[in-house]
A and B are shown apart, each in its own frame.
Chain A
Amino acid sequence: MNSMDVKDLRRKVENIGALPTIPGVLKHISSIIEKPDISLNEISDFISSDPALTTKILKMINSAVYGFPGRISSVSHATVLLGLNVIKGLLIGVSVFELMQQAMQGLWEHSFDCAITSKLIAQRKKLKEPEEVYAAGLLHDIGKVILILEFPEEYEKSIHDANQQCISIFESEKNRFVENHANVGSWLAEKWRFPNNLIETIKYHHAPHRSKYAPMETAIVHLSDILVRARGFGFAGDSFVPAIEPAAFELLDLTENDIKEILREMDDSLEIIEELSL
């Protein structure tokens, strides 16, 4: 795909409604959440009108890992409690569940585990909106889904290269694509009118020092990606733990004991996830 220029790829991704490989339901959701003036009520009505979506959203929020175990019974309650951006993120998250599973074995697990871990670190750092960081963790690799769906053979080769050459998928993508999954994902996040901090966590999760609006959130997703891989959960295209960016690690300022407890909390939460098949 070296012949394809960046603009062309970006135009294709932004026009997700016209991509033949994207299922109808995701196109529809995309068209809803990209509306500039979408209100909480509209999005709540939209979710409520779809029983399958309602079930998935409520199941996710009510799981013990999300922090409201069994306490939220309606979509309208959930939207009020979590706010527009988190609901938009969750909506995309649960909608791409099947797509992720088809696209890459283990990618959903990786994404979900990163979401949980991001939230755990955000809570430990006492961030105001740990649910937003959860959504960022859930969607950080969404660009991979698009690349796989649009260029399945090329992406398959990237995965093969990564494991043959013992390099990360982020590195091997560079050799076959004009853009990496982080940038591709950020185009979608912009199209969906996600807030700047969510766009940046997706865009810079491999280079958190470049984040202007959300350096802490981006560093959190960056570390979550590393911890989830280090622990051996899921699969995101290669089997290697990437290096942590020292500045991000210093910004997070976690003690060894913090990390120890995060790892323990991860295992506690993730064991439950196995039961929570969406």
Chain B
Amino acid sequence: MPRITVDKLEPGMKLARPVMRGSMVLLGEGTELNDNWIQKIKSMEIESVYIDGPSQMSVPKDEMMAQLEDRFKNVADEPYMDVIKKLVRKHIEDLYE
């Protein structure tokens, strides 16, 4: 689910998360964008929105996970670091889905 800046929006893209202003939903999840909506979003001082589709991660997942292991290698047995590592690992894995 990539997040893209509004200047790169094109008609036909679908919102993966709603466009919000404060707690108000302006455009719902799943909305297919047309020129009209894109203009609206651009006029609302919104910098970027989530659209459907695979995230474009620049580093392959295996490499990313190996780097993560490497970063944590000094602190594997320190208190609470297992929890932090587990959560960061899960977070990064989710980015590839």
Q: Which of A229, A240, A249 contacts B80 (CB 8 A)?
A: A249
Q: Are B75 and A241 in contact (CB under 8 A)?
A: yes
The answer to whether B79 has its CB under 8 Å from any CB of chain A is: yes
- Chain A residues lying within 8 Å of B73, measured Cβ to Cβ, are 166, 240
Query: Which residue among B64, B91, B92 has the maximum number of chain A CB atoms within 10 Å of its CB?
Result: B91
A222–B80 CA distance with the chains assembled, in angstroms: 14
The answer to whether A179 has its CB under 8 Å from any CB of chain B is: no
Given A243-B81, A259-B84, A260-B87, the answer on whether A230 and B72 have CB atoms closer than 8 Å is yes
Closest to B88 in A: A230
A240–B75 CA distance with the chains assembled, in angstroms: 9
Closest to A167 in B: B74
Closest to B17 in A: A268
A64–B19 CA distance with the chains assembled, in angstroms: 14
The answer to whether B95 has its CB under 8 Å from any CB of chain A is: yes
The answer to whether B78 has its CB under 8 Å from any CB of chain A is: yes
The answer to whether B67 has its CB under 8 Å from any CB of chain A is: yes
Closest to B2 in A: A271
Number of interface residues of B (CB under 8 A): 28
Name B41-92 residues within 8 Å CB distance of A. Answer: 45-48, 64, 67-68, 70-75, 78-81, 83-85, 87-88, 90-92
- Chain A residues lying within 8 Å of B68, measured Cβ to Cβ, are 230, 232
- Chain B residues lying within 8 Å of A244, measured Cβ to Cβ, are 78-81, 84
Closest to A267 in B: B95
A268–B95 CA distance with the chains assembled, in angstroms: 11
- Chain A residues lying within 8 Å of B64, measured Cβ to Cβ, are 232
Query: Which residue among B46, B71, B73 has the maximum number of chain A CB atoms within 10 Å of its CB?
Result: B71
Given A70-B45, A244-B78, A267-B95, the answer on whether A232 and B90 have CB atoms closer than 8 Å is no
The answer to whether A264 has its CB under 8 Å from any CB of chain B is: yes
The answer to whether A17 has its CB under 8 Å from any CB of chain B is: no
Q: How many A-B residue pairs have CB under 8 A?
A: 81
- Chain B residues lying within 8 Å of A226, measured Cβ to Cβ, are 84
A69–B20 CA distance with the chains assembled, in angstroms: 13
Q: Are A241 and B91 in contact (CB under 8 A)?
A: no
Q: Are B48 and A272 in contact (CB under 8 A)?
A: yes
Closest to A266 in B: B91
The answer to whether A231 has its CB under 8 Å from any CB of chain B is: yes
Q: Are A271 and B45 in contact (CB under 8 A)?
A: no
A249–B88 CA distance with the chains assembled, in angstroms: 16
Closest to B91 in A: A263
The answer to whether A239 has its CB under 8 Å from any CB of chain B is: yes
The answer to whether A234 has its CB under 8 Å from any CB of chain B is: no
Q: Are A260 and B80 in contact (CB under 8 A)?
A: no
Q: Are A271 and B48 in contact (CB under 8 A)?
A: yes
Q: Are B45 and A69 in contact (CB under 8 A)?
A: yes
Name A229-278 residues within 8 Å CB distance of B. Answer: 229-232, 239-244, 246, 249, 256, 259-260, 263-264, 267-268, 271-272, 275
The answer to whether A86 has its CB under 8 Å from any CB of chain B is: no
The answer to whether A87 has its CB under 8 Å from any CB of chain B is: no
Task: List residues of B whose CB falls within 8 A of some A CB.
Answer: 3, 5, 45-48, 64, 67-68, 70-75, 78-81, 83-85, 87-88, 90-92, 95
Task: List residues of A whose CB falls within 8 A of some B CB.
Answer: 63-64, 69-70, 166-168, 226-227, 229-232, 239-244, 246, 249, 256, 259-260, 263-264, 267-268, 271-272, 275
Chosen A-B contacts, 15 in total, with CB atoms closer than 8 Å, are A64-B47, A69-B45, A69-B46, A166-B74, A168-B74, A230-B68, A230-B85, A239-B70, A243-B74, A243-B78, A263-B88, A263-B91, A264-B91, A267-B95, A271-B48
